[in-house]
Structure 1
Amino acid sequence: MTLLYLVAGEASGDVLGGRLMAALRTRRPDLAFAGIGGPRMAEQGLVSLFPMEELSLMGLAEVLPRLRGLARRLAEAEADVLARRPAALVTIDAPSFTLRLAARVRPKGMRVIHYVAPQVWAWRQGRVRRIARRIDRLLALLPFEPPFFEAAGIPTSFVGHPVLESGADRGNAARFRTTHGIAPETRLLAVMPGSRGGELARHLPVFARAVGLLRDRLGGRIVMSV
């Protein structure tokens, strides 16, 4: 049996990880999985080394008080990967944790595949050289990313974006309005506050005030992604 070790650090990565596990299992029923993930990956049989939510942090205000705990979890993950010796370590987004883990285990003979290209093409492009030392292959969500990363020596495959896989591009506005009792002429305001717990706690009050102002000015119905 072939073992893959997957590591996700937040809800969006957990969704990607769950889909990846399901797709791989249809092609390779002999695959086994270990690692760190959330409920979507658990549905595919993953028993997480520790709760993924411990890694779902954003900004210094959340990270600084938990630095010691994060360092301990990083060491635990490293030890578990090296003890299990999987065929590959698949790190999913969350680069502040996953690429640090990759940097620790790749020099010890571990093959590393990173899923979701860090947006170094948008800011701090110098980071790409450091990433190239930490991974063997990159799975990119956007079609223009492979040429950028391959120019830096990173083998990169475009695998598509989960928004398109979700069917969001095939939505039916009339059906949505009928399902939710919204008149055709009613204005809709979409609110997408994020997926991280700390992010939501900080941003929702601001979103609520902004939405209140917009609703007073424009009217209409509010639709929030969850």
Structure 2
Amino acid sequence: MSTNEQRRFALVAGEASGDLLAGLLLDGLEARWPALQTVGIGGPRMLAHGFQSWWPQEKLAVRGYIEVLRHYAEIAGIRRQLKARLLRERPELFIGVDAPDFNLDLEAGLRREGIKTVHFVCPSIWAWRPERINKIRAAADHVLCIFPFEPELLEKQGVAASYVGHPVANVIPMTPDRAAARAALGLDPEAQVVALLPGSRRSEIRYLAARFFAAAALMQKAKPKLQFIAPILPGLRDEVEGLLQAAGMAGQVTLLHGQSHAALAACDVTLIASGTATLEAALFKRPMVIAYNMNGLSWRLMQRKQLQPWVGLPNILCREFVVPELLQEAASPEALASATLEWLDAPVKVQALQQRFSALHVQLQRDTPTLCADAIQKVLEG
């Protein structure tokens, strides 16, 4: 089949970070196959490519064992309906973008019925839940890996894989323009700015945002001239404004309409939820304090399966605690405020961290859209 003939792929990206990855993936796929049609479940970046989303992406943006259980019936129902529709319409390829709890089972079912499958972003079997390798082996014809050490790990377990680089490493400039970002956001070019990123999921806002805003109040008391910004998804704004009011910070935190990259470019330091955004913060060369808090039972279950001492991606990739991690009970407003303020008074430490993050950035930069398209073309031809 020539690149000009029409192909039809299905994709599922279950949350904001997956939508970002899938949007970049679609750049490469559409360059290779200009007449490509894509369907499934996705967010705004995918929709901008003409992607047809059969359900709102927010339906899948749930994290933690207990939170997933609360929404299990609805999510399982979506997966059953999606699988049935895909088996009727039979796209040439299914690409699961991250969201392994949803996508791997779906991929396995489609693969058994003869639909080729690719999984984009290797589940972090090197960090926790190593037993997932068996599910990956059954689910994916090929895995597109965003970290350089992953393909060898997978191939030893009989899973075909390619390192494609981390797409975000090519989006974020090696030297971010802090002054331009501040001008765009209307921030004082000379002020010290703290970016608060409590997460993109409603469950993260529920468990983390109040702690972040209470920490901001303590930081403001210690340094009254600090400026605070917080990128928030539009659907969460009312909830966030209520939490700011409760923390006595109403009007003291500039809420941004998304714009997490602008916030990271503009800030001096970020207080940030563990997840993909921490890697983005590292690529922006920003010091950070990584925090997480979730349902207590979910936390205990996760701890039992954790294989490494680190949770944050910058620490995992650097193989040491280059930035603080304050998790669960340790993520008190007092501890969060103290650790964040410490970066503002440690310019030598910040400079050393920026050098580490610059080296990491170079390692993750690849022509990701083209490498993804190359790997996917081999799957289709294989």
Pair in the same fold by TM > 0.5: yes
Distance in 1 between the 2:207 and 2:167 partners?
Answer: 26
> How far apart are the structure 1 equivalents of 2:70 and 2:195?
34
Question: Which position in structure 2 is the counterpart of 1:199?
Answer: 204
Change over 3 Å in CA distance of 1:215–1:153 after alignment to 2: farther
| AA of the residue aligned to 1:58 | R
2:40 aligned with 1:35, yes or no? yes
Residue in 2 that maps onto 1:95: 100
Could you tell me how far 1:98 is from its partner in structure 2? 0.7
Q: Which residue type is aligned with residue 182 of structure 1?
A: D
Pairing of 1:155-174 with structure 2 (within 5 A)? 155-174=160-179
Specify which of 213, 217, 220 is matched with residue 222 of structure 2. 217
- After TM superposition, give the deviation of residue 190 of structure 1 in Å: 2.8
Between 1:87-96 and 1:39-48, the stretch displaced more is: 39-48
Q: Deviations over 1:87-108 (max 9, x none)?
A: 1100000111011111211111
Is 1:50 the counterpart of 2:55? The answer is: yes
CA distance in 1, matches of 2:63, 2:187: 37
Query: Could you tell me which of 21, 29, 35 is aligned with 1:24?
Result: 29
User: Which of 80, 83, 102 is 2:85 aligned to?
Assistant: 80
Deviation of residue 29 (structure 1)? 0.9
Map 1:59-208 to 2 at 5 A: 59-177=64-182, 180-184=186-190, 186-208=191-213
Are the structure 2 counterparts of residues 178 and 63 from structure 1 closer, same or farther at C-alpha, using a change threshold of 3 Å?
Answer: closer
From 14, 33, 46, the counterpart of 1:9? 14
**How far 1:39 sits from its partner (Å)?**
1.6
Q: Deviations over 1:178-203 (max 9, x none)?
A: 5544344x433232222223322332
Q: Which runs of 4+ in 1 moved over 6 A?
A: none
- In structure 2, what is the Cα distance between the partners aligned to 1:85 and 1:177? 48
Indicate conservation of the 8 Å contact 2:11/2:95, yes or no: yes
Does 109-118 or 191-200 show the bigger shift? 191-200
- Root-mean-square deviation (CA, aligned residues, Å) is 1.9
What amino acid is aligned across from residue 222 of structure 1 in structure 2? F
Instruction: State, as a whole percentage, how many aligned pairs show the same letter.
Output: 36
Deviations, residues 92-139 of structure 1 (Å, cap 9, x unaligned): 001110111112111111211001111110112232122112111111
Output the amino acid matched with 2:229.
Answer: V
Q: Residues 218 and 122 (structure 1 numbering): CA distance in 2 closer, same or farther, change over 3 Å? A: farther
Quote how far apart the aligned CAs of 1:140 are.
Answer: 1.2
Q: 1:149-195 deviations in whole A, cap 9, x for unaligned? A: 122121111222233122243302344445544344x4332322222
For 1:160 and 1:52, the matched residues in 2 are separated by 25
Residues 17-36 of structure 1 show CA distances to partners (whole Å, capped at 9, x for unaligned) of 12222321122112111111
CA 1:47 to 1:176, structure 2 compared with 1: closer, same or farther past 3 Å?
closer
- AA aligned opposite 1:196: R
Q: Distance in 2 between matches of 1:99 and 1:142?
A: 19
Q: Which amino acid aligns with 1:223?
A: I
The 2-side partners of 1:173 and 1:99 are apart by 39
After superposition, the Cα gap between the structure-2 partners of 1:67 and 1:178, relative to the gap in structure 1 and judged at 3 Å, is closer
| Unmatched segments (≥5 aa) in structure 2 | 1-5, 232-257, 259-382
Distance 1:18 1:38 in 2: 9
Moved more, 166-175 or 104-113: 166-175
In structure 1, give the amino acid aligned to 2:110: V
SS of equivalent to 1:49? strand
Q: Is the 8 A contact 2:7 2:33 kept in 1?
A: no
- 1:41-71 deviation digits (Å, cap 9, x = unpaired): 1111112121221111112443223222122
Distance 1:65 1:177 in 2: 40
Q: CA deviation at 1:40?
A: 1.5
Cα distance change on mapping 1:85 and 1:178 into 2, 3 Å: closer
